[in-house]
Structure 1
Amino acid sequence: MSTKYVLDPADRRRLLASPAGWLACGFGSGLTPKAQGTFGSLAALLPWLLLRDLPLLAWLAIIVVGFAIGVWACEVSGRILGVADHRSIVWDEFVGQWIALLPALVAPWWAVVAGFLLFRLFDVWKPWPIGWFDRRVKGGFGVMLDDVIAGLFAGAVLFLILHAFLG
Structure 2
Amino acid sequence: MSDALSKRQILTHPVYLMAFGFGSGLAPKAPGTFGTLVAVPLFWWLADFHWAVLVSCIIVMTAVGVFLCGETARALHKHDHPGIVWDEIVGYLIAMLPLAKDWRAVVIGFILFRFFDIVKPFPIGLADRHVKGGLGIMLDDIIAGLMAALVGGLLWYYASFYQLL
> TM-score with structure 2 length normalisation?
0.92
- How far residue 79 of structure 1 moved from its aligned partner, in angstroms, is 1.1
Counterpart of 1:52 in structure 2 is 47
Counterpart of 2:107 in structure 1 is 113
CA distance in 2, matches of 1:50, 1:165: 24
- Please, what is the CA RMSD of the aligned residues? 1.5
Counterpart of 1:3 in structure 2 is none
In 2 relative to 1, CA 146–9 (structure 1 residues): closer, same or farther, beyond 3 Å?
closer
- How far residue 109 of structure 1 moved from its aligned partner, in angstroms, is 2.1
- 1:15-164, aligned counterparts within 5 Å? 15-104=10-99, 106=100, 108-164=102-158
CA distance in 2, matches of 1:163, 1:119: 17
Unaligned 5+ segments in structure 2 are: none
8 Å Cα contact 1:11/1:81 also seen in 2:
no
CA distance in 1, matches of 2:6, 2:72: 10
What is the identity, as a one-letter code, of the residue corresponding to 1:62? C
> TM-score with structure 1 length normalisation?
0.91
What is the identity, as a one-letter code, of the residue corresponding to 2:57? I
Cα distance per residue 1:103-122 (max 9 Å; x no partner)? 22x35321110100000000
Whether 2:9 is the aligned partner of 1:14: answer yes
Q: How many correspondences in the alignment?
A: 161
In 2 relative to 1, CA 82–9 (structure 1 residues): closer, same or farther, beyond 3 Å?
closer
Identity of aligned residues (%): 48
